[in-house]
Amino acid sequence: MSVLDSIIEGVREDLAARRKPLAQIQEAIDTAASVIDPLDTLLKSSMSIIAEVKRSSPSKGALSQITDPAALAEQYEQAGARIISVLTERRRFAGSLNDLDAVRARVRIPVLRKDFMVDEYQFFEARAHGADVVLLIVAALSQSQLNDYHQLAEGLGMRALVEVHTHDELERALEISPKIVGVNSRNLKTLEVDPTAFADLIPRIPSDVVRVAESGISKRTDVEFAQNNGAIAILVGEALVKASNPAQAMRELLGEDKVEQ
* 259 in a structural domain: no
What's the total number of domains in the chain? 1
pLDDT-above-90 percentage for the chain: 92
Q: How far is the C-alpha of 189 from the C-alpha of 88, rounded, in Å?
A: 19
Is residue 214 flagged as an active site residue? Answer: yes
> How much is the pLDDT for 1?
77
CATH number at residue 26: 3.20.20.70
Kindly name the residue from 54, 125, 169, 187 that is annotated as catalytic.
Answer: 54
Query: Residue 157: which of 118, 128, 177 has the closest Cα?
Result: 128
Is residue 215 flagged as an active site residue? Answer: yes
**Burial of residue 51 (number of CB atoms within 10 Å: 0-12, 13-18, 19+):** buried
Question: Contact at 8 Å (CB) between 122 and 148?
Answer: no
* 108 in a structural domain: yes
> How much is the pLDDT for 258?
55
> How much is the pLDDT for 260?
45
Q: pLDDT tier at 60 (50, 70, 90 boundaries)?
A: confident
* 74 in a structural domain: yes
Is residue 163 flagged as an active site residue? Answer: yes
Is residue 54 flagged as an active site residue? Answer: yes
pLDDT digits (tens, 9 = 90+) for 31-55: 998 999 999 999 999 999 999 999 9
DSSP letters, 60-120, are TEE----S-HHHHHHHHHHTT-SEEEEE--STTT---HHHHHHHHHH-SS-EEEES---SH
pLDDT digits (tens, 9 = 90+) for 65-89: 999 999 999 999 999 999 999 999 9
* 9 in a structural domain: yes
* 79 in a structural domain: yes
Kindly name the residue from 56, 64, 89, 114 that is annotated as catalytic.
Answer: 114
Which of left, alpha, beta for 61 (phi over 0: left; psi -120 to 50: alpha)? left
pLDDT at 162 over 80: yes
The alpha helices in the chain, defined as continuous H runs, are 3-18, 22-31, 39-44, 69-78, 97-106, 120-128, 143-155, 167-174, 196-201, 220-228, 238-241, 246-253
Contacts with 42 (C-beta within 8 Å, 6 or more apart), sequence order: 48, 82, 83, 180, 210, 232, 233
> How much is the pLDDT for 59?
87
Kindly name the residue from 56, 187, 215, 229 that is annotated as catalytic.
Answer: 215
Query: Residue 233: which of 107, 46, 36, 77 has the closest Cα?
Result: 46
pLDDT at 246 over 80: yes
Question: Contact at 8 Å (CB) between 11 and 89?
Answer: yes
pLDDT-above-70 percentage for the chain: 98
Kindly name the residue from 48, 52, 229, 238 that is annotated as catalytic.
Answer: 52
Question: Mean pLDDT in the chain?
Answer: 95
- Domain span at residue 63 reads 3-253
pLDDT digits (tens, 9 = 90+) for 112-156: 999 999 999 999 999 999 999 999 999 999 999 999 999 999 999
Q: How far is the C-alpha of 63 from the C-alpha of 239, rounded, in Å?
A: 9
**Burial of residue 131 (number of CB atoms within 10 Å: 0-12, 13-18, 19+):** buried
Kindly name the residue from 74, 77, 89, 163 that is annotated as catalytic.
Answer: 163
* 261 in a structural domain: no
* 260 in a structural domain: no
* 258 in a structural domain: no
Is residue 114 flagged as an active site residue? Answer: yes
Kindly name the residue from 56, 64, 184, 185 that is annotated as catalytic.
Answer: 184
Q: How far is the C-alpha of 136 from the C-alpha of 155, rounded, in Å?
A: 15
